[in-house]
Structure 1
Amino acid sequence: MAAENLLIKTLACRRQARIFFVNNADLLNTICRRPAVRSRRVRHAFALTVSAASLLSGTLKDHQRLSLKVKASRPGCAWYADVDALGNVRGHLGEGWLNAAPEDLDRLSVPQLIGDRGFIQMVKDVGMNRNVTGITDMPRRNIVDDLTHYFNQSEQTPTHFAIHIDYDDDGGVRTGVGVLAQLLPGAPEGLMDRIREAARRLPHISLSNAEGGAFRKLPFLLFDDIDVLDEVRVQAYCGCSKAMMLPMLHALGTGELAAACERNEPVEILCRICGQSYRFMPEEIRRLLSRDAPSPGSVPPSP
């Protein structure tokens, strides 16, 4: 049975902590296994970032959105993920990762990929044209612990992330599960230590308990005192369309488009967020060029 992309929202520990559980192996395979993502090490860091965004969707309400950026030290190298309150997740890589030789990147560990000048930035759209931005350094250089650091420092919210991703021999995500815990006001000292200890068992949960409907048992395998509040589907969703790619098509220039028409060849435009390819056939391009051409007798604008 294919893995079910699901976020479970709970209250635990005498309702003194909110804990979210996500199962998103299928989502990670959709977003992180695009052909352009050639380095397995970069792909793993990307999967951690996307998994964290999946968990953070549980913190959003109504029409709120959150954008997560994990920036490495080297220029142009970052991991991006974006999520909304409905569980729609998307992500992409900075151009620096796509242009680097994958064999060179795979020789490095995740801390080496991040470097000593990495940072995490979150932008939360809270509605009414208001954004809240936070940024912190990455002292752990492993993304998961640095996200914990971000909330403890930037938002003063006792938080713990735990993410486990397991791969098959072909590099596909076999298991993708995660936990996000945050203490509520009035929680006793030492509670987060107990939650952290329970979350350490996450990698040892059998694969059968992370698949399909069995995932719903996971919260009860890790915690004795827990109440399920809600379940939300999470899914890879970009929202791009062929019409949205028209500006990128126009950006190629009249000369290049006309040359494609002369060769009777289609032009493919890729969405840089999701990697979806949109093909514009020669007859479509001719119509666009005809529509954009100045009408007979019109006066060109002054320079």
Structure 2
Amino acid sequence: MKDYIVRATAADNQIRAFAATTRNLVEHARSVHNTSPVATAALGRLLTAGAMMGSMMKGTDDLLTLQIKSDGPIGGITVTADSKANVKGYVYHPEVMLPPSPKGKLDVGGALRPGILSVIKDMGLKEPYVGQTELVSGEIAEDITYYYAVSEQVPSSVALGVLMNKENTVRQAGGFIIQLMPFAEEEVIRKLEEKIAGLPSITSLLEAENTPESILTTILGDMGLSILDTMDTSFYCNCTKERVEKAIVSIGKKEIQEMIDEKETIEVNCHFCNSKYHFDVEDLKEIIKRSK
């Protein structure tokens, strides 16, 4: 199944909903960053959230960044997404291994907690919007639910999951975000809460071959569900050698000339996609020429 997001409304627009399947992009992130199972689960959950939250942005150039800074062994995660649901991200310590949680699951909370979640929305204004909340569980879905409630005053239900194969590749990944509008009626709220409370885990739903559409139908099918559209989502990094060259220019001509004189070469590694860019002495000479 390809990766995609479904956007929908229900209950006469009192509810808006997003659901995604993201196995391929999470597996791509696992392969390029060589993440451990618990790091894959943590990064995969935040990538899935980022893809859906990015798709909520209205401007074509709008950018969303989700950043967790953690005192746990993972150290942190950074994910960025655009309004087309292109998403990329990395874990600070991808090698972290932990024993299972008391429930026998990958201990994402133990890897991340305590920490701070920052949501940064760059919408082309003078300053980006920044919201911050403490991690309440480190399991990410609960932390984003808490962020929405505290920073944006939007009651939300967030589910995120990554299921691994025995050989540590990604078997399933996906999630949903369901939000109540300010004018939602008490009966709608009650009905939605009952539906959410009776749901199995998101990975169980995906493992049973549910699509994003059928997941939303399970939750909202008797509440006037209206599918608005679908949107492809993928792991995409826009780094290029030309963009990296601009960063090298910012070091300063004097420093670049010193590297040339000492016959140094530079290797620049992209945090997001792990691509490596090499610049030898001749490349550095050309950079100086072009920057005059």
TM-score by length of 2: 0.81
Tell whether 2:267 aligns with 1:275. Answer: no
What's the CA shift string for 1:94-137, capped at 9, x where partnerless?
A: 3xx15xxx36x434732222233x11111112333342111111
Tell me which residue corresponds to 2:66. Answer: 68
Q: Does 1:141 align with 2:133?
A: no
Inter-partner Cα distance in structure 2 for 1:206 and 1:274: 26
The answer for the alignment partner of 1:300 in structure 2 is none
Q: Percent identity?
A: 20
Following superposition, the deviation at residue 281 of structure 1 comes to: 5.5
> In structure 2, how many angstroms separate the alpha carbons of the residues matched to 1:131 and 1:286?
37
Q: CA deviation at 1:145?
A: 0.7
Deviation at 1:24, TM superposition (A): 1.1
The amino acid that maps onto 1:272 is: H
Contact 1:5/1:235, CA 8 A, preserved across alignment? yes
* Match among 21, 24, 28 for residue 22 of structure 2: 24
CA contact (8 A) 1:16 1:186 kept: yes
Partner of 2:125: 128
In 2, the alpha carbon distance for the partners of 1:90 and 1:77 equals 18
Other-structure match for 1:41: 38
Change (3 A) 1:206 1:68: closer
Q: Which residue of 2 aligns with 1:89?
A: 87
Alpha-carbon distance between aligned partners in 2 of 1:191 and 1:169, rounded to the nearest angstrom: 38
Distance in 1 (alpha carbons) for counterparts of 2:154 and 2:79: 21
Q: What is the one-letter code of the residue matched to 2:194? A: R
> What stretches of structure 1 of length at least 5 have no aligned partner?
295-303
Task: Check whether the contact 1:42–1:106 (CA below 8 A) recurs between aligned residues.
Answer: no
Shift, 1:57, TM fit: 1.9
Letter of the 1:114 partner, please give it: L
Question: 2:173 touches 2:203 (CA, 8 Å); kept in 1?
Answer: no
- Residues 215 and 59 (structure 1), Cα distance of their counterparts in 2 relative to 1, 3 Å cut: closer
Distance 1:32 1:199 in 2: 28
Mark the structure with the bigger radius of gyration.
1
Between 280-289 and 161-170, the greater mean CA deviation after superposition: 280-289
Contact preservation (8 Å) 2:25, 2:234: yes
Deviations 1:24-77 (A, max 9, x none): 111112223324x44321221111111111121232112322111112125992
Change (3 A) 1:30 1:201: closer
Deviations along 1:184-231, one digit per CA (max 9) or x if unpaired, are 122133244134235535333253625xxx554442244323110111
TM-superposed deviation, 1:241: 0.8
Residue 258 of structure 1: how far off its partner (Å): 5.7
Per the TM alignment, residue 86 of structure 1 is displaced from its structure 2 partner at its CA by: 1.2
Identify the match of residue 98 of structure 2 among 106, 121, 137: 106
Q: What residue is the counterpart of 1:298 in the other structure?
A: none
Q: Partner letter of residue 162 of structure 2?
A: I
TM-score (norm 1): 0.79
Q: Which letter does structure 1 place at the counterpart of 2:237?
A: C
**Is it true that 1:4 corresponds to 2:11 in the alignment?**
no
Can you give the 5+ residue segments of structure 2 that lack an aligned partner in the other structure? 101-106
Provide the aligned C-alpha RMSD in A.
3.0
Work out whether residues 41 and 163 of structure 2, in 8 Å CA contact, stay in contact via their aligned partners in 1. Answer: no
Q: Residue 53 of structure 1 aligns with which residue?
A: 50
Q: What secondary structure is seen at the aligned counterpart in 2 of 1:148?
A: helix
Partner of 2:166: 169
SS of aligned partner of 2:183: coil
Corresponding residue SS for 1:284: helix
Aligned partner of residue 119 in structure 1, secondary structure = strand
Q: Classify the secondary structure of the residue corresponding to 1:122.
A: strand
The answer to whether the 8 Å contact 1:20/1:58 transfers is no
Please, which of 94, 97, 116 is the counterpart of residue 119 of structure 1? 116
Q: Which moves more between the two structures, 219-228 or 177-186?
A: 219-228
What secondary structure does 1:33 align onto?
Answer: helix
Please, which of 206, 220, 223 is the counterpart of residue 223 of structure 1? 220
8 Å Cα contact 2:9/2:17 also seen in 1: yes
Moved more, 227-236 or 10-19: 10-19
Q: Quote the Cα distance in structure 2 between the aligned partners of 1:73 and 1:56.
A: 25
